[in-house]
Amino acid sequence: MRTICFYFQVHQPFRLKRYKFFNIGNDHYYYNDFENRNIMRKVAEKCYLPANQTFLDIINEYGDKVKIAFSISGTAFDQFELYAPDVLESFKRLVDTGCVEILSETYSHSLSALKSKEEFIRQVNLHKEKVKKHFGVTPQVFRNTELIYSDYIGEMVADMGYKAILTEGAKHILGWKSPNYVYCNAINPKLKVLLKNFKLSDDIAFRFSNQAWDQFPLTTEKFVSWLNAIDPREETINLFMDYETFGEHQWKETGIFKFLRALPNAVFKYSNYTFSTPTEVIANTVPVAAIHVEHPISWADEERDLTAWLGNELQDDAFNKLYALEEQVKKLNNPDILKDWLYLQTSDHFYYMCTKWFSDGDVHKYFNPYDSPYEAYVNFMNVLNDFMLRLREFSR
C-alpha cells in the first residue's frame, strides 16, 4: 500500500520591538505587540482560517480517508490565545475529526537541541502540556525546529519515548537512497525516521505559482501523475511544508486552495495512494535501514544545514551569550524570567542575523523585520543585555 503523509508546520515568533541602548535597564518589555498582533491577524485571515476550513470540507467529504498532521509551536499557541482564539477553535474542530495528528516540538521553536539537553527536554515537555491542554491529545511523533536532526538528537528524542521523528530528505545524507521509505535512527533503531520528499513538497510550497517554472501551472492531475511515476516499491511520500504555504506564501489568487481542495479527489481517482498520519505510517511499514546523520541537517536553504541560524560571528555570539545564562535562569525559577528566556530562544531571532544573502536571500528577506542582519543582532543584544541585568538584579 502506498501512502501520502502530509505534515504542516504552524509557527509564529514573538518579534522583538525596536529596543535601543537607552532602554537597557529601564524597559523590561521586549515584544512588538502591534506587529505580532497584526501579522497574526493577517496570517489568520489569509491562511489559517481558510486553510483549516478547506481541510474541514475535505474531511467532511471523504471522512477518515484523508489524514494530515500539524506541528504547532508553543509561541504560535500563545499568540492564538492572545490574538486569534478563532484559529485555535478551528484547529480543535480539525483535531476532533480524528483525522488529524498533532506532533511534538520545542515550546519556543528553539535551537535548544543543539546546545542543552536539559533545556530541550524541558521545552518539549512544556509543549506537550500545551497540546494536551488545548486538544486533549498526547503526541507520539516528534518534529524538531526546522526539521533539524542528527543521530544524537534522534537518540534524545527516542529516550523521551517518541516512536518517530520527521526530518529533511537531504541529498547529502541520502546519496543514492530514496526518501520514500521509513528509516530508523542510527543509535536507537526503535526511533523511526520519516524523510521529507523535498522535490514534491517544494513543487507545492515554493514553485506552485512560479510562472518561470517549466511545469507551471501545477494541476492536481499533473501532481498525481508524478506520484504514479515513482517506483511502486517506494511506499511513503512525505510532503512536509509550512502551513503558511496556503494563502500566505502562495496567495489565494494563485489557486492554491482550489488545488488543495481538489487533490484528494485526483489522488483517489487516478492512483492507488492513500493518506496517512505519521503514526499510521510507522505502524504499517518496516524500516528499510538506519540513516546516519552525524552532523545536524535541516530543511532550510540549498545547503540543508544550520547556517541560516548559526555560523557567522553575530549568530554565534548571540547564541552563546544566551545559553550561557541557562544555569542562572533555572536557579532563579522566576515566571517572568522563564517566559522571556523561552521567547528569546526562538530560532527566528538568529535567522534574522543571517548574512548569506545570495542563494536563498529572497526567502530570508521576505520574513525579516530588520533592514540588515547587523540591526537584528544589535537589537537582540540590547534586549539580552537588559535580560542579563534583570537576572543579576533578581539574583541579589
Partner 1 sequence: MFGWEFPPHIAGGLGTACYGLTKGLNKFGTEIIFVVPKAFGDEDQSHVKIQDAGNVIITEKSTDYAEFWDNFKYLEVGVNLIPYMSPEEYARIFESKIFSHSEIKEKVLSSKFSFSGTYGPDLLTEVARYAIVGGYLAKQNNFDVIHAHDWLTYPAGVAAKQISGKPLVVHMHATEYDRSGENINQQVYDIERAGMEAADKVIAVSNRTRNIVIERYGIPAEKVVTVYNSVEPISLPEEFRVTKGFDEKIVTFLGRITFQKGPEYFIEAAYKVLQKDRNVRFVMAGSGDMLNRMIRRVAALGISDRFHFTGFLKGMEVYEMFSISDVYVMPSVSEPFGISPLEAMASDVPVIVSKQSGVAEILKHALKVDFWDVDDMADAIYGLLHYEGLSKMFKRYGKQEVENLRWENSAFNVLEVYKSVVKN
Q: How far is the CB of 350 from partner 1 (least distance, A)?
A: 12
Sign of CA dihedral 332, 124, 315, 339: negative
Smaller CB separation from partner 1, 75 or 382? 382
Q: How far is the CB of 21 from partner 1 (least distance, A)?
A: 4
Smaller CB separation from partner 1, 228 or 385? 385
CA 127 remoteness from chain centre: 13
Query: Site residues (CB under 8 A) for partner 1?
Result: 20-27, 313-314, 316-318, 320-321, 372, 374, 377-378, 381-382, 384-386, 388-389
Name the DSSP letter for residue 389.
Answer: H
* Residues 258 and 214 sit within 8 Å (Cβ to Cβ): no
Coil, strand or helix at 60: helix
Q: CA–CA separation, 49 vs 94, rounded Å?
A: 11
* Residues 139 and 128 sit within 8 Å (Cβ to Cβ): yes
* Residues 347 and 115 sit within 8 Å (Cβ to Cβ): no
Coil, strand or helix at 143: strand
Smaller CB separation from partner 1, 299 or 319? 319
Q: What are phi and psi of 389, to 5 degrees?
A: -60, -40
- According to the 3-state scheme, what is the secondary structure of 345-377? CECHHHHCCCCCCCCCHHHHHHCCCCCCHHHHH
Smaller CB separation from partner 1, 3 or 382? 382
Nearest-5° Cα angle at 331, 329 to 333 = 70
Q: How far is the CB of 391 from partner 1 (least distance, A)?
A: 11
Q: How far is the CB of 370 from partner 1 (least distance, A)?
A: 12
* Residues 186 and 154 sit within 8 Å (Cβ to Cβ): yes
Smaller CB separation from partner 1, 302 or 317? 317
Q: Which of the following is catalytic: 101, 105, 119, 146?
A: 146
Smaller CB separation from partner 1, 285 or 385? 385
Q: How far is the CB of 364 from partner 1 (least distance, A)?
A: 16
Active site residue 61: no
Q: What are phi and psi of 125, to 5 degrees?
A: -65, -40
Q: How is residue 266 written as a grid cell?
A: 485526483
Smaller CB separation from partner 1, 150 or 382? 382
Question: 51 vs 45, 57, 176, 248, CA distance in Å?
Answer: 10, 10, 35, 10
* Residues 213 and 254 sit within 8 Å (Cβ to Cβ): no
Q: How far is the CB of 353 from partner 1 (least distance, A)?
A: 9
Q: How far is the CB of 384 from partner 1 (least distance, A)?
A: 8
Question: 372 vs 174, 351, 364, 368, 385, CA distance in Å?
Answer: 35, 11, 11, 9, 20
Name the DSSP letter for residue 252.
Answer: G
Burial of residue 330 (CB within 10 Å: 0-12, 13-18, 19+) is middle
Q: Which residues are catalytic?
A: 146
